Copies of this chain bind each other. A is one copy, B any other.
Amino acid sequence: MEKPRSSVVEQLRPLFRPRTVAVVGASRKPEKIGYQVVRNLMEGGFPRDRIFPINPYADEILGLKAYPSVKDVPEEVDLAVICVPARIVFDVVRDCGEKGVKAIAMITAGFGEVGNVEEERRLVELVRSYGMRLLGPNIVGVCDTVNRMNASFCQALPPPGDIAFITQSGALGIALVGWTIMERIGLSDLVSVGNKADVDDADLLEFFAHDPHTRAIALYIEGVKNGRRFFETARRVSKQKPIVALKAGRSERGAAAAASHTGALAGADRIYDAAFQQSGIIRAYTIDQLFDWCIALASQPPPRKRPVVIVTNGGGAGVMATDACADYGLALEDPPDDLKNVFRQYMPPFGSTRNPIDLTGMARRDEYYGAVLTALQHSWVGAVIVLYCHTAITTPREVADAILDAIRQAKVDKPVTVSFIGGAEADEASDYLRQNRVPCYPTPERAVAAMGALYRRAEYLGLLRD
């Protein structure tokens, strides 16, 4: 059943940006998911007067008026979050349909993932017969930071930001919320897709491609259901916005494990690999890479030229970054003589202009500012990687300011990634750079790998001139 594209965005808006939310199966018992979802919606900051708990045996839940059926709600309901037992799901979906609910997020499990494939098919049929859309079943919910809607059993919302994270693993989704808070990684949405019975990855790509709050899309997937549609959509969407996917189940046994716990066919890995490449999806292999790369892709322009310049105050960090450039296919060459001559102004005689540009341990604010500005402004340079080992001679914050000033002063559209190596002070300065939309990482290889993702995007978009 092919769905027209333009309408997908309209159909999914009530799912991610609803005005009103009913929680069907709301509960007064704190250990129940139906309690947690109401509490999370309230604590997340969604307006109280637009949350409607549904429970035939309660008048009030967490201080909110409860209704026996969604049909009794006096206002229009955009989104119904369903967490009733599987046996009464069909009844409440019918109620939703009759009420005119626009979209359903179904936390309830017990369908395709445990072999009840036929029941899941009937469920989708019922939902569609009312013109509704269904996320799930078997999800942990939806976290939308734009309207502060935590319609999930994740204990908190991720920090607001511009990465949409779509995950096929619910437990991973919940666990990573805490991680995004600790690591200060901003998300526009966190979507648990569950069994993808109706809304699937292709629909979500379509929605987030058009979402003004999202600049990069992160996918954790174990298998896609309608491969052809997914990759056709991805090919189109990745022209507009970067997509990074962590596809688990790469190994034979991993694929079998994925198939057993999601019910989805995982498929041969090299087929995925080729399809990712053709459709412009950048493939990550670890959770760190998935978010590292999205952070860079969401904030930096793709490069237009091959040559990368590395600026460092530590020879060792420079050597490690050089190795990583070889691993990720980045072009590190000796700069032209005129550029070398300018770099020389910013280092003592025992520095190096050979790329990595080694400003040496003597480098302070002015040397970083001068070298980064010089690199950004020179026409030979495509991109700049800045490395800084926290030494006693300067503070990370000073160097962070020097980098930001140089970027502002240069007024060019070239990507920059940074690595600050050190302790708590370096970590704070790194956070400060990220808040100012400059991606900063704790090790040189991660800054290089993120730049590698920017180059792969530039290649896909055909932007690189020689």
Q: Indicate which residue in B169, B178, B222, B262 contacts A422 across the interface (CB closer than 8 Å).
A: B178
A120 within 8 A of B: no
Flag whether A55 is at the interface (Cβ < 8 A): no
- A299-314 CB mask vs B (1 if < 8 Å, else 0) is 0000000000000011
B248, A326: Cβ atoms closer than 8 Å: no
User: Which residues of B are found within 8 Å of A203, using beta-carbon distances?
Assistant: none
Of residues 337 to 390 in A, which have CB atoms within 8 Å of B's CB atoms? 350, 352, 354, 356, 358, 361, 389-390
Among A257, A316, A354, max chain B CB count under 10 A is at A316
A443 to B286, CA, bound (A): 8
The reply to whether A175 and B314 form a contact with Cβ atoms under 8 Å apart is: yes
The digit string for A152-173, where 1 denotes a CB below 8 A from any CB of B, is 0111000000000001111110
In the complex, chain B residues whose CB is within 8 Å of the CB of A262: 315
Is B169 a contact partner of A423 (Cβ separation < 8 A)? Answer: no
Residues in B with CB closer than 8 Å to A252 are 326
What class of interface size applies to chain A in its complex with B?
35 or more
Does the CB pair A171–B424 fall under 8 Å?
Answer: no
- A320 within 8 Å of B (CB atoms): yes
**Are B391 and A261 touching (Cβ within 8 A)?**
no
Do residues A443 and B254 form an inter-chain contact, with CB atoms below 8 A?
no
**Which of B153, B172, B316, B426 touches A316 (beta carbons < 8 Å)?**
B172
Q: Taking the complex as formed, is A137 at the interface, i.e. its CB lies under 8 A from any CB of chain B?
A: no
- Contact digits for A79-90, partner B, Cβ 8 Å, 1 yes 0 no: 000000000000
Within 8 A of B (CB), among A372-426: 389-392, 421-426
- A326 and B250 within 8 A (CB): yes
Tell me whether A325 is interfacial, beta carbon within 8 Å.
yes
Query: Is A314 in contact with B361, judged by CB distance below 8 angstroms?
Result: no
- Please state the number of chain copies in the assembly: 2
Given contacts A174-B391, A286-B443, A392-B174, contact A315 B257 (CB under 8 A): yes
**Contact (Cβ within 8 A) B325 A251:** yes
CB-nearest residue of chain B relative to A167? B316
Interface residues of A in 257-307 (CB under 8 A from B): 257-258, 260-262, 285-288
Q: What is the CB-to-nearest-CB distance from A11 to chain B, in angstroms, rounded to a whole number?
A: 27
CA distance A275 to B296 in the complex (A): 38
Tell me if B389 and A172 are in contact (CB < 8 A): yes
Report the bound CA distance from A350 to B182 in whole Å.
Answer: 32
Contacting A169 at CB < 8 Å: which of B177, B317, B392?
B317
Q: Is the CB of A390 within 8 A of B178?
A: yes
In the complex, chain B residues whose CB is within 8 Å of the CB of A318: 257, 261
Contacts A248-B316, A258-B319 hold; do A332 and B423 have CB atoms under 8 A apart?
no
A191, chain B: closest CB distance, angstroms? 14
The answer to the question of A188 belonging to the interface, with a C-beta cut-off of 8 Å to chain B, is no
A selection of 14 A-B contacts at a CB cut-off of 8 Å is A169-B317, A172-B314, A172-B316, A175-B389, A178-B390, A222-B316, A250-B326, A253-B326, A254-B322, A254-B323, A257-B322, A257-B352, A257-B356, A261-B318
Q: What 17 additional pairs, Cβ within 8 angstroms, besides A175-B390, A179-B422, A254-B320? A: A154-B392, A168-B316, A169-B315, A169-B316, A170-B316, A171-B315, A178-B423, A178-B426, A179-B421, A179-B426, A222-B316, A251-B322, A257-B315, A257-B319, A260-B354, A286-B443, A287-B421
> Nearest 6 pairs between A and B by C-beta?
A178-B423, A169-B316, A171-B314, A261-B315, A251-B326, A175-B389
